Amino acid sequence: MTAALPERILVVDDERPIADILRYNLEKEGYEVSLAFNGQEALERFDKDQPSLVILDIMLPRLDGFAVCQKIRERSTVPIIMLTAKEAEDEKVRGLELGADDYVTKPFSPRELLARVRAIFRRAPGEASDASRILTCGDLELDLASYTVRKRGQKVELTVREFELLKHLLLHRGRVFTREELLQQVWGYEYFGDIRTVDVSIRRLREKIEDNPSEPRYVLTRRGVGYLVDAS
């Protein structure tokens, strides 16, 4: 049997010592790593290497991380972890709104970042049986095997995190999940971030799957509690 190829990660940071430390720790874990030191180089490396994950600093020369994230999202749903300043809460929210899957605040420990990377690459075992790889909800159809979503037969481009969030809610229809529960169960690790991460991700998901995001039919809110997909 042919061994699986290692996951390929693109690290983008203009501080070379940080980039080198990240590469060292990621390669120790068996990942294949390439580096870029400015926004323009990041896009060139992305197109050339086709990475499975991007770790993206915000403060970059030539093109900042927000612009890079936006341009990557125009062509790919590859997971993106953004590196943000410790006190810049608005940076975190803006990155998530542009389509980032997660963020880590500087300074951070390599152990914390590796936990985030493993969580993104880890695919939770399907809770549906192998014979039931398709989940349906109204006009939506989720193919658990191919990680694709269709609405009225048309493909909907979701990020991996958005797909996992929708899948989790669909597999537990009728149950209301708090933001903290979703962070733990969908993001997949002990999360020390802002629960607004969930709100932003839900908003982006609704913009993609709902006919009218302000009056959602699929992903509903229980005020003061959390989110659910109705069982009816």
For the chain, domains (ranges, CATH) are 8-121 (3.40.50.2300), 134-229 (1.10.10.10)
More confident residue, 66 or 191: 66
Average pLDDT in the chain: 87
Integer angstrom CA distances of residue 148 from 73, 79, 120, 154, 186 = 16, 15, 17, 10, 17
- pLDDT band per the 50, 70, 90 thresholds, residue 56: very high
Strand locations in 124-202, DSSP E? 134-137, 140-143, 148-151, 154-156
Q: How far is the C-alpha of 99 from the C-alpha of 163, rounded, in Å?
A: 12
pLDDT tens for each residue of 136-185: 999 999 998 888 899 999 999 998 889 999 999 999 999 999 998 998 88
Task: Give me the mean pLDDT over the 59-88 stretch.
Answer: 90
Distance CA 118, CA 81 (A): 12
Residue showing tokens 């695919």? 123
Q: How much is the pTM? A: 0.77
